Structure 1
Amino acid sequence: MPEKGFILCPSLPRECFSSKFSSMATVPSELFKLIPNDQTSHTFSFHSFSTPSSKVAKARKSSNRRRTLVSCKKSKNEEAWEGKKVGSIDYDKGNYRVSVQVSGLRKDDIPKRYRLRVEGDRWQRDWTISEVVQRILKLNHWDDIEGVLNSWAGRFARKNFPVLIREITKAGSLQHSVQVFRWMKNQKNYCARQDIYNMMIRLHARHNRIDQARGLFFEMQECRCKPDAETYNALINAHGRAGQWRWAMNVMDDMLRAAIPPSRLTYNNLISACASSGNWREALKVCKQMTENGVGPDLVTHNIVLSAYKNGVQYAKAVSYFELMKGTNIRPDTITLNIVIHCLVKLGQYGKAVDIFNSMREKRSECRPDVVTFTSIIHAYSVCGQIENCQAVFDLMLAEGLKPNIVSYNALIGAYALHGMHKDALLVFNELKRSGFRPDVVSYTSLLNAYGRSGQPEKAREIFDMMKRNSWKPNIVSYNALIDAYGSEGFLSEAVEVLREMERNGVQPNVVTICTLLAACGRCGQAVKIDSVLSAAEMRGIKLNTVAYNSAIGSYMNVGEYEKALNLYKSMKGKKVPPDSATFNVLISGSCKMAKYGEALKFVDQMMYLKIPMSKEVYSSAICAYSKQGQLEEAESMFTMMKDTGCLPDVITYTTMIHAYSAAENWETAHALFEEMEMNDITPDSIACSSLMRVFNRGGQPARVLLLADMMKMKRIPFNDATVFEMISACSMLRDWKTTINLIELVESSISAVSVGLLNHLLHFLGKSGKVETMMKFFHKILESGADVYFETYSILLRNLSAAGKWRKYIEVLQWMEDTGIQPSVRMYRNVSSFAWKGGGTEYTALFQKRIGLLKRKAGAGTDTGLLYPSPCPTSTLIDRTRE
């Protein structure tokens, strides 16, 4: 018997096993076949035996004959695995296609026993691997894919299987790959390999099928196929794509227990898993562990860490990390700078973002901007209000030879929508469709928002319906934009109907929906609706956040419900919703509007006690409250505190302080403050200029008013009613009739847009200065413009005509009043009666006495009413104050 571990070949003749053989050296090796049954042992044992010499020679001859007939040399086709580029050009359409073809082992390379079988079957095809892949991908995954594979002669070469699964997984079709993999496992010559399972795990990870990827991981171990580092990397990547960073950490622990050292790719995948979930702290821990284990981070690692900061809304930390990264020898690439630009835009540092963009364009060879870079810059210019630069950057992207994607188009549409430029947004929307893209939900929602912000809710509804007709389901953002479009124009019932439609379609409202409805209620001035919206939010289980409370409190303030706003603020504190700067800004500004200046200052004290940073709006409201209370020193102290804390005053803050000095009639300090504003590169607006003009007039400095008006013309600051009013007052003090005539010509070009109070002031000034004819000409132009003329306007005309002794024109104006349905007062008739009597107009005297008696009977016997029909114009007090 032979030793354990070997089996003698049964085909040898019995004589070969005779004991006449005493030495192994005399036995030819062709006479026996040694087959180890223990694959782990490499030690061989032999038995000695003898045979007659004639039979040995015969056996040798037979052995040589067998070696010549059965033994075949394996052919080595070195070119079978080399990819060859194959290109095709369509000159008619201008398209070209380049693909890589892999041949694999063909019919001539398979073993002879399989080759004979293939040659005898006319259904067998000698396809290349690339041809097999193309034929499979043309089929649906439920078609007979196995029929195609069973007709392929290359299936008998086991080396073709890894290449086949690699090529088909490159196409990204999961179902086809699963069908081919299932067919491969049913083949007799299939052998489980790590690379095949790794490719299938990566493909399942790409399609977010984590359970199937883990199933393949366990299946390969059942097939005695030991996972390697690439297998664990693929599984960690799969969990990272699904946001399951804890599972990825567990896989890493299994990898360490299997004594497989993690590579840089392993750590990068694990950091990416934490980063995709926004868990930046865990990402930093893994990065630190990576460095401690002697694996240095590379550019990919740094990009993943930056992405973790970005996903975790830690924009300032991302910028700081980028500054530290500059100190290393690793140069940032386009992905790095795109992340940094995004974080800078979120931080409001638009200038730095644009500087990085310009540096990328100047150093094209090192780091060239891509479509993502241009899109981020478009968004940056959109947020900071530079809409012209958005279009310029988009055109620059086209000039650089980059093809915009749908995100770029949506960013440009959103930029126009943010400013209500619906025409430009529609042009970009049409250009998107001409470029071969199909508008998505974001495209339609942005265009809808553009019409909503431009005050066209009907057009916004048309875009909303168009989106549904084109088989897009509106999301919560789309519904909120439509609600805002109706609510901003005061169509509250339509906005509520959109809310009901949203719920019918299975889209649940969120906090943004409630905020939008609350703001609409505030604009419409319906306090009852505000209560209803808050009740609806509570019934639907929507918890109000700080923004929602701010919107509700502001809406109550707008409708004058101060107590309800205050109660809502108290309930906000009871539910432990932290107030912010906007909350106190609404409370302080609302209290000031209702002349509750003491309450406004109490809110300022609360805000300072809670150590909430004060915004520019809060400082301005606090300064206004102090000035209204007559506490100029406190207002100055607040203004100084604002500058000391690094919160730079804006034009509103400066205007508020000028108002405070105006109340104190301190024109020197107000003027100095105005000059300080200009020195700080803050362009004054019409309100600031009118405030300073009022201070000058009260301080007896009318000449400075006209100098300030010249400055406004030079800087092209538009004149409003208040500035023209103060200029007329200054001309009245200086008796500068020439400048007054120029002002009248300025006002005549836009009478319909001028307030009635300003028109009355001009008429009063002309009449008081004795320019009665000019006054009447200006009055005729007012009538021609279609502007509304009230009792006070006629009263000014009659008063000045009476003073000038123009009683016939006086009578004519009275007739005009009666023709327009405005009844003159008793005093007006009495004034003209004396003039008519002295002037010899007795026929008018009797008529006037008759009308006076009629008016007295209407008003009540014995009542000498000076004004039976008061003017509805509220500007009479303004004129009286100016006269004083």
Structure 2
Amino acid sequence: MSILSRFRHAQRHYSTVLSPNSSTPLTSKQKSQKALHLLKTETNPERILEICRAASLTPLSFMDRRAFSLAISKLSAANHFDGIRQYLDELKSRPDLANDHRFLSHAIVLYGQAKMLDHAIRTFDTDLKSPRSVKSLNSLLLASLLAKNYKEVSRIYLEFPKIYSIKPDVDTYNVVIKAFAESGSSSSLYSVLDEMDRNSVKPNTTTLNNSIEGFYRERKLEEVGKFLKLMEERYRLLPALSTYNVRIQGLCKLKRSSEAKALVEGMLSSGEKINALSYSILIRGFCVEGNTVEAMNLFREMKKKGYPPDAECYFTLVYFLCQGGDFESALKVARECMKKDWFPNFTTMKSLVNGLVGVSKVDDAKEVIKQMKEKFSEKSDMWDEVEAGLPQ
């Protein structure tokens, strides 16, 4: 039996995994959607692999790439590295993917995500055909970054362009700068800038963002201002909204949310725009610092100004309001997000239920349980146990 025939036979075998109760074949898009949906809740490694095989995922689709990434994350968390290796080897033998440069570059990144960097390097060395592109080099650098192997990032950056006659581009340098930022070596990024100048590669917003993220990580706040000035004077590169959000995030992580708020106020007064993410970062920052009053003020402000909060923003507020003992506000926020069909996790909602009982709002607690059981019928037993402990 040929490779193609074996592949088609396997597809027929796994077809029922995605739609066990349907006799109608799924389209490629429907397979991808179904696979992503199933992977979000699946924890069994073998079942995860079955779902991936059934969907016949490719790197050409954004949704497939999301499914790939989610599957690899779950398999890696389960220490199912043999399964990852076997599955990616299977894909490398598929007729439509065997010599697909895009797929192989994506496989390199997936190996890095699973911290299987030796396999990523082997794929780059052995499976990719010459000449290797700068995109494949960037994939290998990204794999090393995802694997948190900063020494390997540096080695690949210094050696591989010479070995394989590849000219680095701005994405190459940005990954290297990101590695310096994450590894606590942000001062080294200036040497990368000098290299970019020698190779006539102009920095972009990502260069700027990765750099100042590193300065915040190392608490070099004065360096942020100096670097912003350097970028403007040398490259005429001004901060974008994403840059401001990196700055807001950096200050909030340092538990300087009041300074982050002042930065936002300064932006607004000078005509700069912010977005929902700006608010969400601030809200989480104040929550982490225990200032849920300010977080709620910002939450109301963002909605008033037309910036719709996302699910994560709601979940953050419900969790920290419960932690702070403000169960009435937590209930109000929870109800609002559940109307949008966004439900915080079991632990958070159990905390809310117990808190409501503690402030004599048993009926509200029972209503929350009812909604959770209706939404997550598979967890009814868990909620029955919680409900059994409520005052009758």
Query: With structure 1 as the length reference, what TM-score do the two structures score?
Result: 0.33
Query: 1:382 corresponds to which residue?
Result: 68
Distance 1:505 1:568, change over 3 A: farther
Matched with 2:137 is 444
The CA deviation at 1:351 is: 4.2
Contact 1:381-1:390 within 8 A present in 2 as well: no
Shift of the alpha carbon at 1:578?
Answer: 3.6
> Residues 578 and 424 (structure 1 numbering): CA distance in 2 closer, same or farther, change over 3 Å?
farther
Note if contact 2:327-2:355 (Cα within 8 Å) is conserved in structure 1.
Answer: no
- Matches of 1:508 and 1:521 in 2, distance apart? 21
- Contact 2:110/2:143, CA 8 A, preserved across alignment: no
Which runs of 5 or more structure 1 residues have no equivalent in the other structure?
1-336, 363-368, 684-688, 690-694, 701-884
Label 1:568 to 1:541 Cα distance change in 2 as closer, same or farther (>3 A).
farther
> 1:384 is paired with a residue of what secondary structure?
helix
> Within 5 A, what are the aligned runs for 1:249-264?
none
Corresponding residue of 2:376: 680
Q: Given that residues 379 and 390 in structure 1 are in contact (C-alpha distance below 8 angstroms), is that contact kept between their aligned partners in structure 2? A: no
- State the 1:552 CA deviation: 0.8
The match for 1:555 among 226, 236, 250 is 250
In the TM superposition, what is the alpha-carbon distance from 1:464 to its structure 2 partner? 0.8
Per-residue CA deviation, residues 338-384 of structure 1 (Å, 9 max, x unaligned), is 8x79xx98xx88649x9xxx9xx99xxxxxx9xxx833266343343
Shift of 1:638: 1.0
Q: In 2, are the aligned partners of 1:417 and 1:446 still within 8 Å (CA)?
A: no
Which of residues 182, 187, 205 is equivalent to 1:488? 182
Matched residues in 2 for 1:511 and 1:677: separation?
A: 46
Preserved contact between residue 467 and residue 474 of structure 1 (Cα < 8 Å):
no
Closer/same/farther in 2, CA of residues 524 and 402 from structure 1, 3 Å limit: closer
For 1:570, the aligned partner's letter is E
The question of whether the paired residues in 1 share the 8 Å contact of 2:331 and 2:352 is answered with no
Q: Is the 8 A contact 2:215 2:224 kept in 1?
A: yes
Q: 2:283 aligns with which of 570, 578, 588?
A: 588
1:686-743 deviations in whole A, cap 9, x for unaligned? xxx9xxxxx99xx99xxxxxxxxxxxxxxxxxxxxxxxxxxxxxxxxxxxxxxxxxxx
Q: What pairs with 1:155-170 in structure 2 (closer than 5 Å)? A: none
Q: In 1, are the aligned partners of 2:108 and 2:123 still within 8 Å (CA)?
A: yes
**Which among 608, 633, 636 is matched to residue 328 of structure 2?**
633
Residue type of the partner of 1:501? E
Matches within 5 A, 1:394-793: 395-396=90-91, 398-400=93-95, 403-433=98-128, 436-469=129-162, 470-539=164-233, 540-574=235-269, 576-627=271-322, 630-646=325-341, 648-651=342-345, 654-661=346-353, 666=358, 669=365, 673=369, 676=372, 680=376
CA distance in 2, matches of 1:500, 1:571: 32
Is the contact between residue 627 and residue 660 of structure 1 (CA under 8 Å) also seen in structure 2?
yes
State how far apart, in whole Å, the 1-side matches of 2:378 and 2:281 are: 25
> Residue 376 of structure 1 aligns to a residue in which SS?
coil
- Corresponding residue number in structure 1 for 2:15: none
Q: Which amino acid aligns with 2:251?
A: Y
The alpha-carbon distance between structure 1 residues 677 and 496, as it changes in their structure 2 partners (threshold 3 A), is farther
Equivalent pair of 2:257/2:282 in contact (CA under 8 Å) = no
Once the 2 structures are TM-superposed, how far is the Cα of residue 390 of structure 1 from its aligned partner?
7.7
* More displaced stretch, 384-393 vs 505-514: 384-393
C-alpha separation between the residues in 2 aligned to 1:516 and 1:403? Answer: 34
Shift of 1:613: 2.3
Q: What one-letter code is carried by the residue in structure 1 that aligns with 2:276? A: S
CA shift in 2, pair 1:591/1:489, >3 Å: same
Work out the CA distance in 2 between the residues paired with 1:576 and 1:570: 10
Cα contact 2:186–2:215 (8 A) shared by 1: yes
Contact 1:600 1:625 in 2 (8 A): no
8 A Cα contact 2:132 2:166, kept in partner: no
Q: List aligned pairs for 1:78-157, cutoff 5 A.
A: none
Unpaired runs of 5+ residues, structure 2, are: 1-26, 40-49, 76-82
Pick closer, same or farther for the CA change 1:607–1:520 going to 2, 3 Å. Answer: same
1:448–1:402 CA distance, 2 compared to 1 (3 A)? closer
Q: CA deviation at 1:438?
A: 3.1
Matched residues in 1 for 2:378 and 2:158: separation? 45
d(CA) in 1 for partners of 2:96 and 2:68?
A: 23
* Contact 2:142-2:175 at 8 Å conserved across structures: yes
CA spacing shift, 1:448–1:393, aligned 2, 3 Å:
closer
- Whole-angstrom distance in 2 between the partners of 1:643 and 1:552: 31
Give the secondary-structure state (helix, strand or coil) at the position aligned to 1:538.
helix
Tell me which amino acid in the other structure corresponds to 1:382: F
In 2, the alpha carbon distance for the partners of 1:494 and 1:677 equals: 53
Match of 1:439, as an amino acid? R
Count of aligned residue pairs for this structure pair:
329
After superposition, the CA RMSD in angstroms is 4.1
Deviation of the 1:483 alpha carbon = 1.0
**1-side partners of 2:286 and 2:229: how far apart?**
25
CA contact (8 A) 2:97 2:103 kept: no
TM-superposed deviation, 1:555: 0.3
Higher relative contact order (CA 8 A, sep 6+): 2
Name the SS of the counterpart of 2:244 in structure 1. helix
The amino acid across from 1:447 in the alignment is: L
Partner-residue secondary structure (3-state), 2:93: helix
TM-aligned CA distance change 1:663 to 1:528, over 3 Å: farther
| Alpha-carbon separation, structure 2, partners of 1:490 and 1:682 | 45
Q: Is the 8 A contact 1:553 1:587 kept in 2?
A: yes
**Aligned counterparts of 2:340 and 2:227: Cα–Cα separation in 1:** 39
Residues 552, 633 of structure 1: CA spacing in aligned structure 2 closer, same or farther, 3 A cutoff? same
Identity of aligned residues (%): 19
CA shift for structure 1 position 409:
0.9
Please give the per-residue CA displacement for 1:764-792, whole angstroms capped at 9, x wherever unaligned: xxxxxxxxxxxxxxxxxxxxxxxxxxxxx
Name 1:752's counterpart in structure 2: none
Give SS of 1:486's match: helix
Given that 1:584 and 1:618 are in contact with CA atoms closer than 8 Å, whether structure 2 keeps it comes out as no
Structure 1 residue 577 displacement after superposition: 4.5
Q: CA deviation at 1:623?
A: 2.1
Distance 2:211 2:254 in 1: 15
Query: How is 1:118-267 mapped onto 2 (pairs within 5 angstroms)?
Result: none
In the TM superposition, 1:297-308 aligns within 5 A as: none
| 8 Å Cα contact 1:487-1:516 kept in structure 2 | yes
Structure 2 counterpart of 1:603, one-letter code: L
Partner amino acid, structure 2, of 1:467: F
Paired residues of 2:290 and 2:324 also in contact (CA < 8 A): no
Q: 1:423 to 1:403 in 2, by over 3 A?
A: closer
Deviation of residue 660 (structure 1)?
4.3
